[in-house]
Structure 1
């Protein structure tokens, strides 16, 4: 009895979820492409802040700070 119920639930889940999975296959790459410029901007800002931090910390490293 349990296996029949489990199989029936799996079939219902398959019928309900395959359209959503198919939509996600097409939508997620579009969303990824739309968010790509923000990822690139965040990466470049991270590099700039690390560079500024390294410039400010350079005298302390030269003088032997920890």
Structure 2
């Protein structure tokens, strides 16, 4: 909602720039999509490493 309100303010002050932003936003989103996928994969790998490191402590705590 905040992005939409900011876009409306930009549209009032400079409508050509607002229309350019409206057209360019999907292309920027598609360009950044691989970086998000890589970030999710790296986060998952780090969670796996943390789970393996803390596994002995969790096993000892369960006993």
TM-score of the aligned structures, taking structure 2 as reference length: 0.73
Choose 1 or 2 for highest CA Rg. 1
- What is the alpha-carbon distance in structure 1 between the residues aligned to residue 11 and residue 48 of structure 2? 51
Alpha-carbon displacement from aligned partner over 1:19-66 (angstroms, at most 9, x marks no partner): 01110011111011000000110011001100111011111111018x
**Which 5+ residue runs of structure 2 have no aligned equivalent?**
1-9
Query: What is the TM-score normalised by the length of structure 1?
Result: 0.70
Of structures 1 and 2, the one scoring higher in RCO (CA 8 A, sep 6+) is 2
Unaligned runs of 5+ in 1: 1-12
- What is the RMSD of the two structures over their aligned residues, measured on CA atoms? 2.1
Between the two proteins, the alignment pairs up a number of residues equal to: 53
